[in-house]
Amino acid sequence: MIKQILLFSSLLTCSYLLTGCDSSENQSLPPNQTTTTAHPANSTTPHEAQSSTELIPKGILSTDKLEPFWGDLDEMKDRKLIRALVTYSKTDFFIHNGKIKGLQAELLQNYENHINKGIKKEIDKTKIVYIPVTFDQLIPSLVEGKGDISAALLTATDERKKLIDFTKSKYSEVSEVIVRHKTAPKIDSLEDLARKTILVLKGSSYAEHLHRLNKQAVFKENAIHIIEADSTLLSEDILEIVNAGIYNYTIIDDYKAILWLKTLTNLEIAEKINLSKKNSLGWGVRKQTPLLQDSLNEFIHSNVQKGSLLGNILIKRYLGSTKRITNPLLDLERDRLIRLLPHFEKYAEKYQLDPLALAAQAYQESQLKQDTKSHKGAVGVMQLLPSTAADPNVNIKEIHKVDNNIHAGAKYMDFLSRHYLPSEEITPINRFLLSLAAYNAGPGNLRKMQKLTTKMGLDQNVWFGNVEIAAGRIIGRETVHYVSNIYKYYTIYNLSKLIYTERVQTLQQYVK
User: Which pLDDT score, from 0 to 100, does residue 278 have?
Assistant: 83
Residue type, 201: L
Asked if residue 381 lies in contact with residue 402, where contact means CB atoms within 8 angstroms, the answer is yes
CA dist., res. 52 & res. 453, Å (int)? 9
User: Which pLDDT score, from 0 to 100, does residue 481 have?
Assistant: 87
Asked if residue 196 lies in contact with residue 224, where contact means CB atoms within 8 angstroms, the answer is yes
Alpha carbon distances (Å) from 334 to 340, 356, 496: 10, 13, 11
Least confident span in 112-116, 126-130, 154-158, 300-304: 300-304
User: Which pLDDT score, from 0 to 100, does residue 121 have?
Assistant: 86
Average pLDDT in the chain: 80
Using DSSP, state whether 507 is helix, strand or coil: helix
Q: Cα Rg for the chain, rounded, in angstroms?
A: 24
CA dist., res. 480 & res. 467, Å (int)? 9
Using DSSP, state whether 228 is helix, strand or coil: strand
Bridge partners, residue 229, by sequence? 201
Say which residue, 390 or 18, is predicted with more confidence. Answer: 390
Q: Please compute, for residue 486, the number of CA atoms within 13 A of its CA located in the half-sphere on the CB side.
A: 35
What's the residue count for the chain?
Answer: 512
Say which residue, 360 or 331, is predicted with more confidence. Answer: 360
List pLDDT tens digits, range 268-290.
Answer: 999 889 998 888 888 999 999 99
For 197-218, the three-class secondary structure string (H helix, E strand, C coil) is: EEEEECCCHHHHHHHHHHCCHH
Asked if residue 362 lies in contact with residue 344, where contact means CB atoms within 8 angstroms, the answer is yes
User: Which pLDDT score, from 0 to 100, does residue 20 have?
Assistant: 31
User: Which pLDDT score, from 0 to 100, does residue 25 have?
Assistant: 32
Bridge partners, residue 176, by sequence? 253, 276
Percentage of the chain exceeding pLDDT 90: 46
Say which residue, 481 or 23, is predicted with more confidence. Answer: 481
Say which residue, 67 or 447, is predicted with more confidence. Answer: 447
> What distance lies between CA 157 and its chain's CA centroid?
23
Q: For 337-350, what is the mean pLDDT? A: 92
Identify the band that residue 5 occupies on the pLDDT scale cut at 50, 70 and 90.
very low
CA dist., res. 140 & res. 138, Å (int)? 6
| CA-CA-CA-CA dihedral for 326, 340, 480, 8, to nearest 10 | 30
User: Which pLDDT score, from 0 to 100, does residue 27 have?
Assistant: 29
Predicted TM-score of the model (pTM)? 0.60
Residue type, 160: R
List pLDDT tens digits, range 156-211.
Answer: 888 999 999 999 865 567 889 999 999 999 999 999 999 999 999 888 899 999 99
Alpha carbon distances (Å) from 370 to 337, 338, 413, 474: 12, 14, 18, 31
User: Which pLDDT score, from 0 to 100, does residue 201 have?
Assistant: 87
The number of beta carbons lying within 10 Å of the beta carbon of residue 103 is 21
List pLDDT tens digits, range 37-93.
Answer: 565 555 544 333 344 434 444 565 543 346 789 999 999 999 888 999 988 776 778
Question: φ and ψ at 401, to 5 degrees?
Answer: -90, 135
Alpha carbon distances (Å) from 68 to 9, 83, 141, 512: 29, 11, 9, 55
Least confident span in 85-89, 426-430, 505-509: 505-509
For 343-389, the three-class secondary structure string (H helix, E strand, C coil) is: HHHHHHHHCCCCHHHHHHHHHHHHCCCCCCECCCCCECCCCECHHHH
